[in-house]
Amino acid sequence: MNRNVIWGLIGGATAIVAGAAALAAPPPGNAVKGKAVFARCAVCHRIDPVVAGGIGPNLAGVYGRPAGQRAGYAYSPAMRAAHIKWDEATLSRFLAGPGKMVPGTKMMATPVTDAQDRADVIAFLKTVGGGAK
């Protein structure tokens, strides 16, 4: 094996280790960028606590709340029975595949495949408190 091959192997192994670390720890979110990502959600979700309407529930104050609890919104039976508390980990899993995490959910949204986009939009959701419990 010549030196270049050896360095190539070391470089590849380092990349694999870095990739594993990225999987284990979600990237920190940026709320400003997350507001832009939220444009994808705003088709269906209101975020201002006093603005009614939307195909989906108003998401003001959703961070830290149990799933399916916004007063006045007709959730699917699946979401009402999900027993999830919305935090970084659960929101990230849900946004990556709504129907995979909550089979039978009526959230028919395109999954947010990019982990950084998910972290950013979650950081944005955290900044928007208020709304009904």
Q: Where does this chain bind ligand HEC (CB under 6 A)?
A: 40-41, 43-45, 55-57, 59, 62, 67-68, 70, 75-76, 78-79, 86, 91, 95, 105-109, 112, 121
- Closer Cβ to ligand HEC, 95 or 119, answer by number: 95
- Residue placing its CB nearer to ligand HEC in the complex, 24 or 120: 120
Which CB, 7 or 114, lies closer to ligand HEC? Answer: 114
In whole angstroms, how close is the CB of 32 to ligand HEC at the nearest point? 16
Helix (H, G, I), strand (E, B) or coil at 85: strand
**How many angstroms separate the CA atoms of 65 and 85, rounded?**
6
Token pair in block for residue 99: 């129907």
Q: How far is the CB of 24 from ligand HEC (least distance, A)?
A: 23
CA distance 10 to 100: 37
The pair of structure tokens assigned to 32 is: 């400003």
Compute how many other C-beta atoms are within 10 angstroms of the C-beta atom of residue 114.
12
Distance from C-alpha of 55 to C-alpha of 43, rounded to nearest angstrom: 8
Minimum distance of ligand HEC from residue 38's CB (angstroms): 6
